[in-house]
Each structure stands twice: as C-alpha cells, then as structure tokens.
Structure 1
Amino acid sequence: MSVNESLARNSYAAAGQSHIVLAENISEAQFALLEKVCPAGLFQRNAAGVAMINYRGCLECGCCRVIAGSSTLKQWRYPASGCGIALRFG
C-alpha cells in the first residue's frame, strides 16, 4: 500500500477555524521551510503568490511547530475535541 493510499483511509472532521496561525511578518525563507517540512502539504501559495494554510488536512504531527518555531507560528494547538484527524491503520 502506498503512502497516499494509507493516508486516504484516515478521516478528518474539520474545525470551524484553523488551529495553526502564522506569525505576522514571516520571511519567504521561513514559509519555504514550512512548505518543505509539512508531510501533508498544508502550506502553499495560491495563484497570486499569497501564503495560505489548508489546516483541514493537518496530520497533527507538529513538524511545522518543531522545525519553524515560535518566530514563524503565532499559534499551534490541537484542534477542538471531536475535530481533527482520525487515523486508520492497515
């Protein structure tokens, strides 16, 4: 089974608001690092080049928090109870 097939087995209950908040003025290099380290690919740029977070697909692994630190992320917390990822094994 491929990684994508395994991830597709998971279910996700989206919260009403993001549990990840970027700091006010992060640099291009900091955002590029987030794009690179996130295994779910949450950090992307839209067609206009604006930095965006698709928090609804978060694996809650904490890579962004550990690698980028508090200077890049203003807030990182687990989603509200009943929201977030439900991992399915097998």
Structure 2
Amino acid sequence: MSVNESLARNRYHPAASSHIALLDVDEQQQALLEKICPAGLFQRDASHRLAFNYHGCLECGCCRLIVGDSALREWRYPPSGCGITLRFG
C-alpha cells in the first residue's frame, strides 16, 4: 500500500481554526517546513508566501521539532473531537 493510499484511509475532523500558526519565517525555514511535513501541508501561495493547510494535518509534530519557536507562533493539538483519526490496515 502506498503512503497516499494509507493516508486516504484516515478520517479528518477539522476544527474551525488552525492549531498551528506561523511567524514570518526566512527562506531556509520555509524550505525546511516544505520538506519535513509528511502530509505536504506547508506550501507556497501565488505570492510565494508560505501557507499551512491544517485540514490534513497528521499531528506528528515534525514541524515543531525542526523549526520550533523560531517559526511557529503556536503549535497545539486540535480541540477534543477534532483532528485526525488514524485507521490502520
């Protein structure tokens, strides 16, 4: 089973607002965030600013481990009842 097929089995219950907030980050940090996110949720918009699409977040914390407080204004788990439900098999 491919990674994309495995991710498609998960269930997502997005919250009304993002649980991760970005600061203004430099080019190097933007590149790290784009590379490290296993779900590919950090992407540049039309004006080349880094955007985060929280709806498919795996809540793994990779972004927090790599850039920490230097690029993330806030990182928390989604509120109860929201977020990802992992489905194995």
User: What is the TM-score normalised by the length of structure 1?
Assistant: 0.94
| Per-residue deviation, 1:47 | 2.2
Q: Quick check: which one's helix share is greater?
A: 2
| Per-residue deviation, 1:48 | 2.4
Q: Which structure 1 residue ranges, 5 or more long, are not aligned?
A: none
Q: Which residue of 1 aligns with 2:75?
A: 76
Q: Which structure 2 residue ranges, 5 or more long, are not aligned?
A: none
Report the more deviating stretch, 42-51 or 4-13.
42-51
Say whether 1:54 aligns with 2:62.
no
**Matches of 2:48 and 2:70, distance apart in 1:** 21
Task: Return structure 1 stretches of 4+ with deviation > 6 angstroms.
Answer: none
| Structure 1 segment 1-90 matched on structure 2, within 5 A | 1-23=1-23, 25-90=24-89
User: What is the TM-score normalised by the length of structure 2?
Assistant: 0.95
**Matches of 2:55 and 2:69, distance apart in 1:** 21
Task: Tell me the C-alpha RMSD between the 2 structures.
Answer: 0.8
Query: Identity over the aligned pairs, expressed in percent?
Result: 67
The count of residues paired between Structure 1 and Structure 2 equals 89
Name the SS for the 1:69 alignment partner.
Answer: helix
